[in-house]
Amino acid sequence: MNNNISLVIGEDDLQRRVRELGAEISRDYADRNPILVAVLKGSFVFLADLARAITVPVNIDFMAITRYGAGTRGGVVRIEKDLDLAITGREVLFVEDIVDTGLTLAYLVRSLQAREPAGLAVCTLLDRRVRRLANLPIRYTGFEVPDRFLVGYGLDSRENYRHLPFLGALPEEPKPAKQS
């Protein structure tokens, strides 16, 4: 099943960088009790590792969305599962797996800003800047990645490969299909 996948970022490099991000976030958010907000499902592995690398108290919450119109990338976003926690007056750290066009993030950030958090910053494991359409400030970035479709460490291709402990690239981008 993994025969076609070429290694892009290995497990050790991922773990080392996530620990660095956790240390940085712990310094920046000391005494601020942030809510880590992640979008299902792609961010679940990154969030799990990042949360354990953070040494200050945090809360954790999830959203689930559906994207339309552009297959696995960009398009129109609908919130399928909203946050359980109230974020008004709270520090929010939005945790993403990958920012590609930035359209998803732009939509979600706008939606969360409307609830008037005390602050809202973005932490993404991967940044594919060459495809950016919507520009937003990203406070923490794990790695910049090239324009290849990536799987593993939470990222999927039609729901496969999420469990891989490393990041790999498929030979070609899969045909559009509904995803989350």
Interface residue list for ligand IMP (CB under 6 A): 42, 72-74, 96-105, 149-151, 155
How many CA atoms, within 13 angstroms, populate the side-chain half-sphere of residue 60? 16
Query: In this structure, what DSSP letter does residue 73 have?
Result: S
Which is nearer to ligand IMP, 3 or 135 (by Cβ)?
A: 135
CB of 26 to ligand IMP, least distance (A): 24
Min CB(39)–ligand IMP separation in Å: 6
In this complex, which beta carbon is closest to Mg ion, that of residue 37 or of residue 54?
37
Residue 20 CB contacts under 8 Å (≥ 6 apart), including other chains:
none
Q: What are phi and psi of 98, to 5 degrees?
A: -150, 135
41 forms beta bridges with: none
The least distance separating ligand IMP from the CB of residue 152, rounded to whole angstroms, comes to 9
Task: Give yes or no for a contact between 153 and 50, defined as CB atoms under 8 angstroms apart.
Answer: no
Residue 73's binding partner out of ligand IMP, Mg ion, none, with CB under 5 to 8 Å set by partner kind: ligand IMP
Which of these segments, 5-13, 40-48, 87-95, 142-150, binds Mg ion (CB under 5 A)?
A: 40-48
- Taking residues 108 to 147 in sequence order and writing x for each that binds Mg ion by CB under 5 A, - otherwise, the string is ----------------------------------------
Task: Point out which residues pair with 93 in neighbouring strands.
Answer: 36, 121
DSSP letters for 111-160: HHHTT--SEEEEEEEEE-GGG--S----SEEEEE--SS-EEBTTB-BTTB
Residue 104 burial (CB count, 10 A): 21
CB of 32 to ligand IMP, least distance (A): 25
Q: Would you name the residues annotated as active-site residues?
A: 100
Whose Cβ is closer to ligand IMP: residue 26's or residue 44's? 44
Which residue has the closest beta carbon to Mg ion? 42
Report 72-111 residues binding Mg ion (CB under 5 A).
97
Interface residue list for Mg ion (CB under 5 A): 39, 42, 97
